[in-house]
Structure 1
Amino acid sequence: MNLVTLSLVSLLICASGYTRASIHVYDRDPFREVGNAYLVSGGSEGLAASRTPNPLPRHTDPVNVNDGRSYIRFQNITFRRSEASAAKYSKTQRRTGLVQVIIFEAADRDNIGGSPYGGQRSICCTPDLAKVEGCKQGEVIRIPSARDSSWPVTVNVYFRGKSLTAQLKTTEAPISKTGMYNLFFISCDSSLKGMTMSGQTSWKGPDGYLPGRMAPLKKFYVIMAIAYALLCVAWFSQYVRFWDDVLQLQHCISVVVGVGLFEMILWYFDYAYFNNTGTRPVALTTWVVTVGAARRTVSRLLMLCVSMGYGVVRPTLGGLTTKVMLIGVTYFLSTELLNITEYVGAISDIAGRARVILVLPNALLDAFLIMWIFTSLSKTLTQLQAKRSSVKLDTYRKFSNALLITVILAVVWIGYEVYFKATDPFNEKWQSAWIITAFWDILAFALLCVICYLWAPSQTSQRYAYSEERGEDSDGEESEALYSGTPKGDIGLVKQERREKNGQNEDEFDLDEDDGAEEGKRE
């Protein structure tokens, strides 16, 4: 990979930490030296093409964010150089420093920069490149795109005289083609070293301010909220109907179902606000990630308790309660910190490194919980087989199969996610990137549906409950069902057999007594 491409990729990765919103704010951001240029990354987002004339005709009334227009708007962009740099020039000089605003599509990344002899590529035009490429010395090398000669877009901003600042007038760059767009502020003037910039840019798509890779998630969470609502109706209708027979385990399932619905609704409102304003509300996003961390924690603890046979082969967790609570609290804190780092507020380059650090313990906790769940599930199946509890054993086998399929799908998807990101360093597949996030919510919902189906409240819910008196063997359950199915006015086969046996024993007893009496008389 050449120097220019490597530099742009590294800066985009760093910028992705603090450009999570579609309104990018720059507060005295310093220009970094990259090769023979000084630059600031202004952002990178996928934008869909405009559906209406862009810009709007004159005398057109302002419309809402769903106006079908797609653009990048520059507002209050101000560049500030050092006093030492400004002192080199006189007040009468017109142009004493140049900063260029470069907008290009990811597919045209090689159109920025050049190489005179096939060696390292340079961002700025050098004397040798001016002879070979025909570029203008002291400016960014720009090669017109084969698809549209007006791209990449370049806007020049000049310092004048001894002025310390240079401003870019409020302007818009219309987007007429769907793609992944990158924005850079670049200066090829070495005298401007130490320069900073302030202001903001607004990136808007046809339907609002949501970044292209996030926009489909707004509709996705509407669908997920409806799915959870339907599950709630089905579950709680049975839950209320058979309230007297509800088990402790089914109370826990109810909590997970309710919290899941609440989380999906919060995610929708978070993205809706983001789409309408271009910024993420810190309070709402914090609520969303906290509820999400709680739902994931309770879900994993629920699977762990089910695997341990809580309420089925053991009445309580006993000494394991403290360990389960400890791993639950640890997992919640780890997930909460990871999600806050990823979603809440502006994320700087340091926060990006912090997220990488937080991913590892969260992944290790997940792996530990999976191992614990399968180990406990194996022991529970062994106990049920030993007790010959056919009904419970069948339920737990179905649960273990569903859990195994879920783990296999998760491992396969992790491999696909790594492949997806490794083969897309420039985010050119941004239109399908939302599936990576959506899959985990779908998988969790599918497993929850299986659990709800297997442990649905019913009038026979108590057959899953732990009972030391009944012995919990299948023979006892079948005999009990046979006895309960015999009418009071009839004589069941079991009772007849018992009476015949009792009658035979009584005859044998009477014969023994008669023989004893006859022997006494003889004596």
Structure 2
Amino acid sequence: MRNWLFPLALVGGLAAGLVSGAEVLLTSGEEERPECQGMYARKAWGGKFDPAILVKFAPSKLDKTVSMIVFEWEDRSFIGRYRTPEDIDKEYICSEPEIKDNLCNATDYGQFITQPDTEKASKGSIFTQAVKLKDSKPFRYKIEKTGYYCVQVYGLESKDFSAVVEFKNSYGELPAAQIAKLPFYGGLTIMYALFSFLWGFLYFQHRRDILPVQNYITAILLFLVVEMLVTWGFYEYSNNFGLNGAGSKVFMVVVAILNAARNSFSFFLLLIVCMGYGVVKHTLGSTMTIVRILAIVHFIFGMVYAVASLTITPEQAGPLVLLVILPLSGTLTAFYIWTLNSLKFTMKDLEERKQNVKLLMYKRLWWIILGSIFTIFGFFFINSLTFAGTGDPNFAPDHWKFRWFVLDGWLNLVYMVDIALISYIWRPTANNRRFAMSDEIAQDDDGFEIASIGWSSNRCTDDYDR
């Protein structure tokens, strides 16, 4: 094996390990890269059997040798030896020249070369074998410690071979990098169910004073319970039956559609809240129809984007991807601009009319939105610094356990906090409808006229009678 090939292929294998599944196919090629994935020990997540890496070569009539090695990432420095102290690159495969130079023994022909002190100094994770394609048997590598494991094969005597590598964890079929999503979405389902229960209790208690906007909040809370339950079910199903089956693919499409619906519903709800619907304005008139149309269009574009991202690879997409991304970006931008402008105008109107109690509600909403924006941009900045090191060979081994949270988990937490805070501010209370229909008596700093007392008193009485 060329002495520069192993480190180059190793980096490629780490990059592929970011997206690969639990079962992969290794085939011959100019540069056979290793396949690397995180693996959990049995005690970490439990299970009925010990985790293992299974390697099975396709039957062949050729009596040729293929080199194979399995190792944990931290033991990589023990693989390969320098031919001379002056050499920069290592030799990795035990063949005739390496045997003559005493880099390995004749009995090790076809195996990967390891350091003389490997057994004492390493963690004992390295296993190498010369595989005869004609009579090869399935190989099982037992996982005893949690770590980042790699499988490398190299066609020493034949380039015509293929092998299936399965990273089999004790808990089920999900890759180790995704198993944490199972309890995470289960926890989100429970949290949203709790929010819905508390909201439902207040809703029933004050059912005679419910505002129209509170009906929308009720709907989105129930929808979130369903969405999180389906997402949780998707990972539970995939853990039992694998990610590559037809059932998992259908489940995945359903989850993507629900996610698109959640995004559209959330933008719709936030926009009508910022417009003052139910608290400042009793009706939005024809504007409500326009907002609904925008939400439906955004959902359609979001659904198309979600399904396309699941069924079309980046290589297949080409320029056509713009036909999916640009419309979605347009509706998203429209929501952002319209929402922020509506909130600004609503707050300005309340401030001019000195409606301090209602103004306080919208100021709190403003701080929630502002806090979310700062949190998202701050996290994106930290992530950009973190992912700037993706070219570092240690990136995947150091981040595989929590990469899912960086890419997906934290945004769900930010969303949950936002929906909880908004639901709390707009929660059903006694005299909801009276509060929404009445105006607070403006308190001018320049004093008041005695004649205005009677008018204000009558105004309050009329509002109360309504």
Instruction: Quickly name the TM-score band, shorter chain normalised.
Output: 0.7 to 0.9
Q: Which residue number corresponds to residue 44 of structure 1? A: 36
What SS does the corresponding residue of 1:74 show, helix, strand or coil? strand
Residues 305 and 291 of structure 1: CA distance in aligned 2, closer, same or farther (over 3 Å): same
Q: Which residue number corresponds to residue 10 of structure 2? A: 8
**Shift of residue 208, structure 1, vs aligned partner:** 2.9
Residues 69 and 321 of structure 1: CA distance in aligned 2, closer, same or farther (over 3 Å): same
- AA matched with 1:6: L
Q: Which residue number corresponds to residue 450 of structure 2? A: none
Residues 320 and 228 of structure 1: CA distance in aligned 2, closer, same or farther (over 3 Å): closer
1:428 aligns with 2:398: yes
Q: Which residue number corresponds to residue 458 of structure 1? A: 429
1:265 aligns with 2:229: yes
Asked whether the equivalents of residues 173 and 242 of structure 2 are also in contact (C-alpha less than 8 Å), the reply is yes
RMSD over equivalenced CA pairs, Å? 4.0
**Separation of aligned partners in 2, 1:485 and 1:372:** 32
Unaligned runs of 5+ in 1: 53-64, 87-95, 160-165, 488-523
Residues 390 and 50 of structure 1: CA distance in aligned 2, closer, same or farther (over 3 Å): closer
Q: Which residue number corresponds to residue 249 of structure 1? A: 213
Residues 305 and 108 of structure 1: CA distance in aligned 2, closer, same or farther (over 3 Å): farther
**Shift of residue 220, structure 1, vs aligned partner:** 1.9
- AA matched with 1:460: N
Q: How many residues were matched structurally?
A: 434
Unaligned runs of 5+ in 2: 444-452
**Separation of aligned partners in 2, 1:352 and 1:132:** 51
What TM-score does the superposition give when structure 2 sets the normalisation length? 0.78
What SS does the corresponding residue of 2:396 show, helix, strand or coil? coil
| Structure whose CA Rg is larger | 1
**Shift of residue 295, structure 1, vs aligned partner:** 1.3
Among candidates 325, 334, 346, match of residue 380 of structure 1: 346
1:229 aligns with 2:193: yes
**Separation of aligned partners in 1, 2:463 and 2:353:** 24
Among candidates 97, 109, 112, match of residue 76 of structure 2: 109
Moved more, 471-480 or 366-375: 471-480
- AA matched with 1:155: Q
**Separation of aligned partners in 1, 2:305 and 2:420:** 28
Equivalent residue runs for 1:388-399 within 5 Å: 388-399=354-365
**Separation of aligned partners in 1, 2:295 and 2:156:** 55
What SS does the corresponding residue of 1:428 show, helix, strand or coil? helix
Post-superposition CA distance 1:57-105 (Å, at most 9, x none):
xxxxxxxx82251212235x30558xxxx6xxxxxxxxx4222332222
Q: Which residue number corresponds to residue 58 of structure 2? A: 78
**Separation of aligned partners in 2, 1:109 and 1:368:** 51
Asked whether the equivalents of residues 124 and 139 of structure 1 are also in contact (C-alpha less than 8 Å), the reply is yes
- AA matched with 1:31: S
Residues 4 and 479 of structure 1: CA distance in aligned 2, closer, same or farther (over 3 Å): farther
**Shift of residue 478, structure 1, vs aligned partner:** 7.5
Moved more, 434-443 or 361-370: 361-370
Among candidates 134, 145, 154, match of residue 103 of structure 2: 134
**Separation of aligned partners in 2, 1:258 and 1:147:** 57
**Separation of aligned partners in 1, 2:138 and 2:440:** 77
Post-superposition CA distance 1:44-67 (Å, at most 9, x none):
322122449xxxxxxxxxxxx822
1:32 aligns with 2:29: yes
Residues 204 and 153 of structure 1: CA distance in aligned 2, closer, same or farther (over 3 Å): same
Q: Which residue number corresponds to residue 333 of structure 1? A: 301
**Shift of residue 110, structure 1, vs aligned partner:** 4.0
Equivalent residue runs for 1:35-184 within 5 Å: 39=32, 41=34, 43-51=35-43, 66-67=47-48, 69-75=50-56, 77-78=57-58, 96-113=63-80, 116=83, 117-119=86-88, 124=93, 134-135=103-104, 139-143=111-115, 144=118, 147-148=121-122, 150-159=124-133, 166=134, 168-184=136-152
What SS does the corresponding residue of 1:208 show, helix, strand or coil? coil
Asked whether the equivalents of residues 68 and 112 of structure 2 are also in contact (C-alpha less than 8 Å), the reply is no
**Separation of aligned partners in 2, 1:100 and 1:358:** 47
- AA matched with 1:292: N
Asked whether the equivalents of residues 100 and 157 of structure 1 are also in contact (C-alpha less than 8 Å), the reply is yes
Post-superposition CA distance 1:336-386 (Å, at most 9, x none):
6347736x8xx96847999x9899767887566444432321122112212
Asked whether the equivalents of residues 261 and 299 of structure 2 are also in contact (C-alpha less than 8 Å), the reply is no
- AA matched with 2:273: V
1:403 aligns with 2:377: no
Asked whether the equivalents of residues 46 and 212 of structure 1 are also in contact (C-alpha less than 8 Å), the reply is yes
Residues 298 and 214 of structure 1: CA distance in aligned 2, closer, same or farther (over 3 Å): same
Residues 269 and 260 of structure 1: CA distance in aligned 2, closer, same or farther (over 3 Å): same
Asked whether the equivalents of residues 73 and 147 of structure 2 are also in contact (C-alpha less than 8 Å), the reply is yes
1:197 aligns with 2:178: no
**Shift of residue 444, structure 1, vs aligned partner:** 0.7
Post-superposition CA distance 1:107-166 (Å, at most 9, x none):
23344455655445565457776666704676544443765474322233213xxxxxx4
- AA matched with 1:13: A
**Shift of residue 320, structure 1, vs aligned partner:** 7.4
**Shift of residue 187, structure 1, vs aligned partner:** 1.4
Residues 478 and 243 of structure 1: CA distance in aligned 2, closer, same or farther (over 3 Å): farther
Equivalent residue runs for 1:436-451 within 5 Å: 436=406, 437-451=408-422
**Shift of residue 405, structure 1, vs aligned partner:** 0.8
Asked whether the equivalents of residues 71 and 175 of structure 1 are also in contact (C-alpha less than 8 Å), the reply is yes
Residues 178 and 14 of structure 1: CA distance in aligned 2, closer, same or farther (over 3 Å): closer
**Shift of residue 286, structure 1, vs aligned partner:** 2.1
Asked whether the equivalents of residues 139 and 188 of structure 1 are also in contact (C-alpha less than 8 Å), the reply is no
**Separation of aligned partners in 2, 1:175 and 1:382:** 63
Residues 158 and 364 of structure 1: CA distance in aligned 2, closer, same or farther (over 3 Å): farther
**Shift of residue 230, structure 1, vs aligned partner:** 0.9
**Separation of aligned partners in 2, 1:275 and 1:149:** 30
What SS does the corresponding residue of 1:329 show, helix, strand or coil? helix
